[in-house]
Structure 1
Amino acid sequence: MDLAVTAVRTALNAASYVSPGPAGKAAFRLFRKPRGRSRLRPEERPVMDRAVAGEIAVGGGRAVSYRWGTGERPVLLVHGWESRGSRFATLVSELLDLGLSPIAFDAPGHGEATGETMTILDLRDIITALDAEHGPFEMVVAHSLGVTATFVAVRERGVRTERIVAISGVPDFAYLVDRFCAGLGLRARLNHELRGRIERELFAGEEDIWSRFSVPRTRTAAGESSFLVVHDEDDDMVDPADSRALTAALGDRARLVVTRGLGHRRIIADGQVAAAVRDFVISGASARAAAAPDPSQRTAAG
């Protein structure tokens, strides 16, 4: 185990026996802020240099948006925690080749955006703002916490899309808290303290966040959308079983793609995953064409 993680775990657990409040506050500070801003990679720069940038006021900062293409057939790309919009660069190129218009963003505390952190409500509000400006989206592609936020935006803000790609999706917000505590080896009392601070300080005035920010609860709001669910067998942050359960619950509307060796983060930049999304788009276009009425079969009155 990393020595820094061991030191944090030991200090917080020891402090929780005598001062659970301060220990919970320290755990909350670690939980609520990204560990650092991921930087633009050299291979992403050519794609990002072609983007038209904009700004969106949200939370305590300003998100930065990026758009490509003509504006026709818009597709929204939603990043997760400690990520950024440029991580979708490989997919952006694929979508442009198909005649789609990708739109990505950096949320507050991430990439080129201002602010120190983001919440799932910030992500929801960014998705809603971009939907109002550029939607409705033909497709939304989301990764990690972005998957959870997408389902929340669909349910709470009426965002509609024909197709959703859920990559390494976090099943619910409580999962993040439990995963954070497990990763640091924090005792149950600290988990309880952390949840209390999240309720009071991160989501003050919000109701029922533990069941509300949940993919299982919100997925029924997606109506007749079709789904591509993608997960890596070697994901050490989100259990692949959660994506299998989501696919099973969605039934005939969903297809599952399982990768190997990509983990939780590298999966969104992978060429094979981009190709799977491309095929998902093409299959949707073929299905729409097959369902469209044949003009040659219309009667004179029709």
Structure 2
Amino acid sequence: MKKTLQKLLPLAYGGFFNSLSYIAQPWVVQKAFTLFVSPRKGKILPHQQAFLQKATAELVEIEGLAIQTYTWPGTGPTVLLFHGWESNAFRWRKLIEVLRPLNYHIIALDAPAHGASSGKVLHVPLYQKIAAGLMERFRPQFAVGHSMGGMMLLYHQHLGGTESLKGLVVLGAPADLNNIMKQYKSILKLNKKVFNGLDELFKSDFNFRIDDFSVAEFSKSYTIPGLLVHDKKDLIVPYSSAEKIARNWKTAELITTEGHGHSLHQKEINEAIGRFMTKIN
């Protein structure tokens, strides 16, 4: 029953949006966008609290939002960790266990509308503004992003990046907004009127169209050293995304895994991240 409802609910939303798109398109488009950027989960769960409580917690205000950060202090280079959609800082626990003995100064955060941070929505342009504010404050030498967090870091680099950064690590990141939006359109069965309206919204609110936003294309100009990690059997973000980015990002190394899925928590991956940063530093 629960699975049936999960399948029917998106179709109900889509049918509602489609039916009203002919009489109230601006309102419908805004509602469809709000649904797209509103996470349903990602708050701190009881079993996650014990690990996060071991860190030094600090709320940082950026863009009118209270962003929860967690610091595991070290005397080495600073590393900033950016999680993906419907996740939180706890997802980095296994990487932190590998990096702490190497004495890195580690800072993780809960993105807006996730974990213990405030807010109701999250999208890449907002996430990038949060990242820019944190990087200005903490001046990291390395940044690591998973999934949406990785896509955001590549967008941040496109906008000029951060001078203190020596290297980027991108795990399981999408290459293009177009594929994400096509999937959203397919799940909700949105008609062309709603989808075209969303394209206009991206242009008016963020100054790019859906087809224009490609971190794979942006990567052509990058000279910063990078490490890409992607699994061939990733069911969330296809492996072809990593291939597209790797073809264009000439100073990045691609590590291909098989059977590790989208989360990429495995010890050998975390150790490879440690080796990458140690080599550059």
* TM-score, scaled to structure 1: 0.79
**Which position in structure 1 is the counterpart of 2:83?**
79
Q: Distance in 1 between matches of 2:260 and 2:11?
A: 27
| Residues 40, 86 of structure 1: 8 Å contact kept | no
Q: Which amino acid aligns with 1:107?
A: A
Q: Which amino acid aligns with 1:216?
A: A
Aligned Cα RMSD in Å? Answer: 2.7
Change (3 A) 1:48 1:222: farther
Q: Distance in 2 between matches of 1:260 and 1:83?
A: 21
* Aligned with 1:29 (options 30, 34, 41): 34
Which deviates more from structure 2 when the two are superposed, residues 245-254 or residues 164-173?
245-254
Change (3 A) 1:178 1:246: same
Q: Distance in 2 between matches of 1:212 and 1:192?
A: 14
Q: Distance in 2 between matches of 1:56 and 1:9?
A: 37
Q: Which amino acid aligns with 1:190?
A: V
Q: Distance in 1 between matches of 2:168 and 2:218?
A: 13
What secondary structure sits across from 2:167 in the alignment? strand
Q: Distance in 2 between matches of 1:122 and 1:71?
A: 31
Query: Post-superposition shift, 1:171?
Result: 1.6
**Which position in structure 2 is the counterpart of 1:260?**
259
Q: Distance in 1 between matches of 2:109 and 2:58?
A: 9
- Structure 1 segments, 4+ long, off by >4 Å, are 17-22, 209-213
Q: Distance in 2 between matches of 1:123 and 1:21?
A: 25
Query: Post-superposition shift, 1:109?
Result: 0.8
**Which position in structure 2 is the counterpart of 1:214?**
214
Q: Which amino acid aligns with 2:259?
A: R
Q: Which amino acid aligns with 1:93?
A: E
Change (3 A) 1:277 1:187: same
Map 1:1-302 onto structure 2 (within 5 A): 2-16=7-21, 20-40=25-45, 42=47, 44-137=48-141, 139-160=142-163, 161-200=165-204, 203=205, 206-208=206-208, 210=210, 213-223=213-223, 225-251=224-250, 253-262=252-261, 264=262, 266-267=263-264, 269-282=265-278, 284=279
Provide the identity percentage.
Answer: 23
Q: Which amino acid aligns with 2:215?
A: V
Which deviates more from structure 2 when the two are superposed, residues 139-148 or residues 11-20?
11-20
What secondary structure sits across from 1:159 in the alignment? coil
Change (3 A) 1:40 1:213: farther
Q: Distance in 1 between matches of 2:33 and 2:249?
A: 34
What secondary structure sits across from 1:64 in the alignment? strand
Change (3 A) 1:77 1:168: same
What secondary structure sits across from 2:94 in the alignment? helix
Q: Which of the pair has more CA radius of gyration?
A: 1
Change (3 A) 1:119 1:29: closer
Query: Post-superposition shift, 1:94?
Result: 0.8
Q: Distance in 2 between matches of 1:130 and 1:100?
A: 17
Q: Deviations over 1:34-84 (max 9, x none)?
A: 123343362x44431221112222234211111112252111111122221
| Residues 63, 130 of structure 2: 8 Å contact kept | no
Change (3 A) 1:25 1:19: same
Q: Which amino acid aligns with 1:55?
A: L
Task: Count matched residues.
Answer: 275
Query: Post-superposition shift, 1:90?
Result: 0.9
What secondary structure sits across from 1:117 in the alignment? coil
What secondary structure sits across from 1:54 in the alignment? strand
Q: Distance in 1 between matches of 2:106 and 2:128?
A: 18
Gaps in structure 1 of 5+ consecutive residues: 289-302
| Residues 71, 134 of structure 1: 8 Å contact kept | no
* TM-score, scaled to structure 2: 0.84
